[in-house]
Structure 1
Amino acid sequence: MKNFKAVNIGDSTTYRCYIENDGNIFVYARNKKRYGWRFDEEQFLIRFTPLIPNDENLQWKRRLKRAVKLCNESGLWAEIAVVWDNLYKYVTLDEKNKIYDMSWDNREATVAYCKKHYPFMIKIDSNGKEYLNTDYIWELSRCELKSMYFGYNNTEEKEQIRKAISERRKYTIPRIRTTYDVSFSYTPEINRAWYSEEYKNCGNGHYYLALNHSTAVFCEDD
């Protein structure tokens, strides 16, 4: 299908799209019939999530692939990138959801099932007991990506983050007020970065892992 719709990751706006004969993707500007922007597939997937009817698995796989690519490029969250890569290569969305449901009914049976079919999901604790690595089925497994936003100084802030990660230099943004109270931190000793959007003057909100200087993945709500 050449015509489809996609959601802009940055502002959640839906756009009409068209796959051209050379494989490039044309995104129509809002309320325009001729004007818009042209991207190759990689550029397109950095900015947009395709809305393909009845194919949640394909959309999920594309997010997983992109998340692995971003982590490999930045070096951040290497252990989580392994989880996403295994999900991308070996597990369907329906199967992941099935394991999630199983885990609530019978944890021992779930461990046995995963050990047989997906041994990479199993870990061993300090007492030698096997358990399911829940990163494969909880929030991080959904791989919900978003573009970080730092208000009017957005481009400059992202450039400072990019430099800090590249130089392995500690960097924090304590708080920037947008529609949320936004913060960011990068710790070079463990090569991890975090991004949060808290409700104004609240201290609760949405929390993410930063995959590079620009994109984050949902972790939890508090």
Structure 2
Amino acid sequence: MGMTVKQVADLVGISVRTLHHYDEIGLLTPADISSGGYRLYSDEDLEQLQQILFYKELGFPLKRIGEMMHAPSFDRQEALELQYSMLLEKRRRLDNMIALVEQTIQSAKGEIEMTNEEKFAGFDFSRNPYEQEARDRWGDKAVDDSNQKIGNMTKEEQQALGEDMNKIYRSLAGLRHQDPASDEAQAAIGEWFRLLNKMGNYSLDAFKGLGQMYVDDERFTKNIDQFGSGLAKFMRNAMAVFADNRQ
């Protein structure tokens, strides 16, 4: 006999409303129904729920999770192995950042001195958390070329690249209430196009598609909008104008 929504919610530690939402959007819809007309979760449903929660822990939006899990080519074992690798990488990055924060706290207290290199040792721009999406959209060659360019940079060059990216984000954030087609906005987004092509080979179509991803993928939106609410949408619009004007 299957488990009720309440039983599953208590087992997993999530709300009944969350499970109802997954049902409503077609992400997880139990097929079994009790004599009283209530949904019942099977062991297979619980496996799917576990998979969903793994993806959520890795930051995937629900829309993207549904697309992956409902794809004909979806393989649970393969997905678990990929999630395992991604979680290990996430732990590695968090461990590095925790160690860096601990050192910085000691430095702030005057207990130790940190060199400029040590201050940025926990930041790693050589790994792209959105790489698989990029491969799906633009192919392996484009991503491999980008990885090679970044891999050939020194740590100092990678650090400078990250600083340049943040500088452009801040510049664009200051323009985000303007018309994306304005000369000033287009000049700034042109700098973004040139910077991205230092890391890879972005065609105008790929550049425009990347801008759309900034809005479609809530992970991108959340990160970009840290510089200013609505920045992701502004960049999407400005990138589209930039690409269309040069086609």
Instruction: Give me the TM-score of the superposition, normalised by structure 2.
Output: 0.28
Q: Normalized per residue, which structure has more strand?
A: 1
Q: Which has the larger radius of gyration?
A: 2
Instruction: Give me the TM-score of the superposition, normalised by structure 1.
Output: 0.30
Q: Normalized per residue, which structure has more helix?
A: 2
